[in-house]
Structure 1
């Protein structure tokens, strides 16, 4: 059941001595942080009993009420109750919040983190199953042509394959729109018939929705298209609700919403990502033809961001064609090994530094997946993106390692996700020293991102917040 954030905020303020007792209020990732005029008026026991409050901590005179991933909603309601300057005026609708680049960036990161945090258990679980299957296959314990291998691999891959649907569910709660309509439209993106049409489009056949041309886009394993679609859906739903007669809302409203939102999703949002990705691909390969190793460095730094948006897929045809024609690919694939292991190193640093046992377990599992198997989604979404600074550390490390890989002239003979077990694809029998370069880059990626994450730091989730690590607070 959806929580009444206004009631939660009002009850918290009451037990902090009333709204007039609050000197200032702000929030972090999970906590409402309050400074009071008179600390003696706080009723700690009553605060802990509030439905929607996970706990209370007093640190250095600052009163911290643990809310969870939805703390921003409670914060906004507290602002409405009091008079905290411009922030309260914005919350009350008296003033419009100034739109700045920083604010836009903050809102995008907030949407990503809020959406992806509840999905961490499924992503971690799937990645660990895939890791076990890979190890058993390499040890010849589990034949790749067996039905057991196929089923276990499908179990591990399901969370990634249907990621658009999972994102739609989570994002619908963030953007306060109908979950089932969001799932229906995201379901279109992975519907077998639609995917067949996308294959036809990729082969040059014309695919149209009436007069709207539909570009070939592969939506499985992606996050951004479903996230953007659900955000737009929230506005479409409010618009349609205003124009449909009350008597027809049960059947006409959802039909109109689907007929508006679905074409926008497959006709604009998905193709837009591909167009941007194609432009980036063309730019990077142009730079590679002119500057060589610089392009590998650029790719190493950009790779996690491209994966996050799904734009990394535009490189697949070029990689496959290059390997087929020359036997190797020396620009995109070498950049990935540093990028992948850098995400693993950043996750290891978080595991090393955090005081939160649940977060430590999550980070260790995510790091293992990235370093050993090159499966980076758990590290990217569960750790780096969530805490922001580890992401910056991994981007810097990925760029440095990409530069080293480019200077070393590493090239891949296959298109397996680069990790410890698949690093053999970079070994050049004609150049035995390539093995030293491969090992050196992997060590550099893990160590550099680890150190940078410790230097940059991150806002830890205290032990009292363990319940949030598993995404429990998603209502």
Structure 2
């Protein structure tokens, strides 16, 4: 990854069709996520050739540029050129697109991924703090009722308990609606009085709003309900803006938005969002319950491909909800062990075998990122996709290691990306053998992917310096041979 982020930013913006073509920009752990006015202005092939760009994923007017672990620095430089506030470059309406099942599905996926990606650091941070508290208990450093443990668990729970508010803020940017109103409406769902009412409703007490019964729902740790509520709020805000007189907009507009959006959310959208989230979670874990270890193996093989398309974020709400309800997650997270660590092992094999100096450096850095931090995009786009066969090695590794993880019943207490440093999230304090299993699976992932990559081989990328030297030697040889071709006719002429 080039450290010249200013030059990188200029090149990327130019190939995106210029600053005027970009209407929104966000970033996740490794990707710059652009939304453009005109997809024809995106030069994806040229983007891939920019030094520092590891890969490009384009889907219509949306384009993801993978730049690796230093994405935050690149994002700041690009933002300077776009003069955005993180949501839109101007108020120009987006071009209308004919709604088809494919377009609807793409928009839903984009809304979910675009909303959740900025929240991942807070979720990972909180879950790792809770994991630290669990380890302190496991090693008998503190008792369960000690204030240190209580405070650590509270710190770790903060991101999860107030997840609806975080989702509202992120979704407000995505849907271009008023953030403070979205946060205020979401705040109702975690207000102590509302939580108390929902608890009473769960015990059988009648709770209603204007005579309409309110269903008992717990919204802490949830994503889908507030995501839908904020999307609906964006339309309510536009409608209210169109009917309120200018002189009353300062007070009447926000009041009407809250009075319309909040009841709709509480009475209809909230329960519907819970049903949708529960249905998705039930489907995923029904498959797991039916196929057992095979489901984890299949997920392990598919995981690198899901990351390639960005669809891996679809599972984020399911993982959060499952960990909140049961304390662990035993399908998606264990499947990532072989996939993530395997990508790191494959990159190390490439670094070992390649003669290309630049590829060797890229492979070592990408491999370290996957192994140590669990961030696999640099490995995927910088090495595996380019060379193809090492990617096949990681898919095989993901299947085998995923199957073993499923067989052993490995489960995660956190949703941090599996890596050598986050392996503790898979330790079961009641099962000492879980540590042996996790360390064994990670070691197997590295060794298996390394060996498979060497066995399958890959077409090495020639060194640019070697190419230049070969071309130079060839030119010199051609120059030496040229006189021999011309001297014979001249000598013959002189003799004659």
Structure 1: distance between partners of 2:215 and 2:107: 29
1:69-99 Cα deviation digits (max 9, x unpaired):
978945x99xx8xxxxxxxxx95x5xx3233
Partner secondary structure for residue 221 of structure 1: coil
Equivalent residue for 1:235?
A: 235
Where do 1:90-101 residues align within 5 Å? 93=95, 96-101=96-101
Shift of 1:247: 3.7
Question: Who wins on radius of gyration, i.e. which is larger?
Answer: 2
Matched, 1:185 2:193: no
- Which of 317, 341, 357 is residue 309 of structure 1 equivalent to? 317
Q: Which stretch of the first structure deviates more once superposed, 144-153 or 273-282? A: 273-282
Residue pairs, 1:272-283, within 5 angstroms: 272-279=272-279
CA distance in 2, matches of 1:401, 1:244: 60
Q: Do 2:222 and 2:317's aligned partners in 1 also have CA atoms closer than 8 Å?
A: yes
Distance in structure 1 (CA, Å) of the matches to 2:449 and 2:229: 33
Q: Which has the higher contact order (CA 8 A, sep 6+)?
A: 1
| Residues 200-258 of structure 1, C-alpha deviations (whole Å, 9 max, x = no match) | 34445544333434333332233332222212111111111222333433333222211
Q: What's the counterpart of residue 223 of structure 1?
A: 223
Could you tell me how far 1:281 is from its partner in structure 2?
Answer: 6.0
Q: Cα offset for 1:179?
A: 1.5
- Contact 1:163 1:221 survives alignment (8 Å): yes
Structure 1 residues 72 and 253: CA distance shift in structure 2, 3 A: closer
Gaps of 5+ in 1: 1-11, 36-51, 57-63, 81-89, 321-331, 368-378, 456-475
- The 5-angstrom pairing of residues 3-152 of structure 1 reads 29=32, 55=77, 67=82, 73-74=88-89, 93=95, 96-152=96-152
- Paired residues, what number? 363
- Farther off after superposition, 417-426 or 133-142: 417-426
**Inter-CA distance 445–195: structure 2 relative to 1 (3 Å threshold):** farther
Contact 2:197 2:207 in 1 (8 A): yes
Range with greater deviation from structure 2 (178-187 or 128-137): 128-137
| Partner residue in 1 for 2:252 | 252
Report the more deviating stretch, 257-266 or 102-111. Answer: 102-111
Structure 2 spans left out of the alignment, 5+ residues: 1-9, 26-30, 44-73, 304-310, 349-358, 386-390, 416-421, 457-496
Question: What residue number does 1:335 align with?
Answer: 331
Aligned-residue CA RMSD in angstroms?
5.9
Contact 2:341 2:445 in 1 (8 A): yes
- Partner of residue 172, structure 2: 172
TM-score (norm 1): 0.55
